[in-house]
Structure 1
Amino acid sequence: MKQRSYLALEDIEVSFPTRKGPFVAVKQVDLSIDKGEFVALIGHSGCGKSTLLNVIAGLVKPSRGVVFLDGEVVDRPGPDRAVIFQDHSLLPWLTVEENVRLAVDKTASGKSRGERRDWVMHNLELVHMAHAATKRPSEISGGMKQRVGIARAIAMTPRVLLMDEPFGALDALTRASLQDAVMEIQNQLNNTVVMITHDVDEAVLLADRVVMMTNGPAAGIGEDIRIDLPRPRNRIEAAETSAYNHARHEILHFLHQRYSNPLDKVA
Structure 2
Amino acid sequence: MDSYLSIERIGMRFTRGSAVSEVLVDVDLGIAKGEFVSIIGHSGCGKSTLLNIVGGLIRSTTGEVLLDGQVVDSPGPDRAIVFQNHSLLPWLTVYGNVRIAVDKVFGRTKNAAERHDWVMHNLALVHMAHAKDKRPGEISGGMKQRVGIARALAMQPKILLMDEPFGALDALTRAHLQDSVMEIHAALGNTVLMITHDVDEAVLLSDRIVMMTNGPAATIGEVLDIPLARPRRRLALADDPAYAASRVQVLRFLYERQRFTTAAA
Residue of structure 2 equivalent to 1:121: 120
Taking structure 2 as the reference length, the TM-score comes to 0.97
- 1:112 Cα deviation (Å)? 0.9
SS at the partner of 1:261?
Answer: helix
Residue of structure 1 equivalent to 2:105: 107
- Equivalent position amino acid for 2:169 in 1: L
Measured at CA, do residues 265 and 137 of structure 1 come closer, stay the same or move farther in structure 2, by a change above 3 Å? farther
Residue of structure 1 equivalent to 2:161: 162
SS at the partner of 2:66?
Answer: strand
In the alignment, is residue 29 of structure 1 matched against residue 33 of structure 2? no
Cα deviation code 1:40-69 (max 9, x no counterpart):
000000000001000100011010001011
Partner Cα distance (1:125, 1:171) in 2: 23
SS at the partner of 2:90?
Answer: coil
- Equivalent position amino acid for 1:225 in 2: L
Moved more, 234-243 or 170-179: 234-243
SS at the partner of 1:16?
Answer: strand
CA contact 1:258–1:264 (8 Å) conserved in 2: no
SS at the partner of 2:37?
Answer: strand
Taking structure 1 as the reference length, the TM-score comes to 0.96
SS at the partner of 1:31?
Answer: strand
SS at the partner of 2:247?
Answer: helix
CA contact 1:129–1:148 (8 Å) conserved in 2: yes
Partner Cα distance (2:238, 2:202) in 1: 12
CA contact 2:2–2:32 (8 Å) conserved in 1: no
Partner Cα distance (2:79, 2:237) in 1: 30
Residue of structure 2 equivalent to 1:172: 171
Question: 5+ unaligned residues in a row in structure 1: which ranges?
Answer: none
Cα deviation code 1:115-164 (max 9, x no counterpart):
10100000000000000000000000000000000000000000000000
Cα deviation code 1:185-231 (max 9, x no counterpart):
00000110000000000000000000000000000000001001111
CA RMSD of superposed structures (Å) = 1.3
1:6 maps to which of 4, 7, 10: 4
Residue of structure 2 equivalent to 1:239: 238
Measured at CA, do residues 4 and 180 of structure 1 come closer, stay the same or move farther in structure 2, by a change above 3 Å? closer
Partner Cα distance (2:203, 2:261) in 1: 27
Partner Cα distance (2:63, 2:264) in 1: 26
- Equivalent position amino acid for 2:6 in 1: A
Measured at CA, do residues 264 and 189 of structure 1 come closer, stay the same or move farther in structure 2, by a change above 3 Å? farther
**Equivalences, count:** 264
- 1:264 Cα deviation (Å)? 6.4
Residue of structure 1 equivalent to 2:223: 224
- Equivalent position amino acid for 1:69 in 2: L
Q: How is 1:1-267 mapped onto 2 (pairs within 5 angstroms)?
A: 5-109=3-107, 110-261=109-260, 263=262
User: Deviating runs (4+, > 6 A) in structure 1?
Assistant: none
Moved more, 15-24 or 30-39: 15-24
CA contact 1:42–1:211 (8 Å) conserved in 2: yes
- 1:265 Cα deviation (Å)? 9.4
- Equivalent position amino acid for 2:84 in 1: Q
Partner Cα distance (1:192, 1:46) in 2: 25
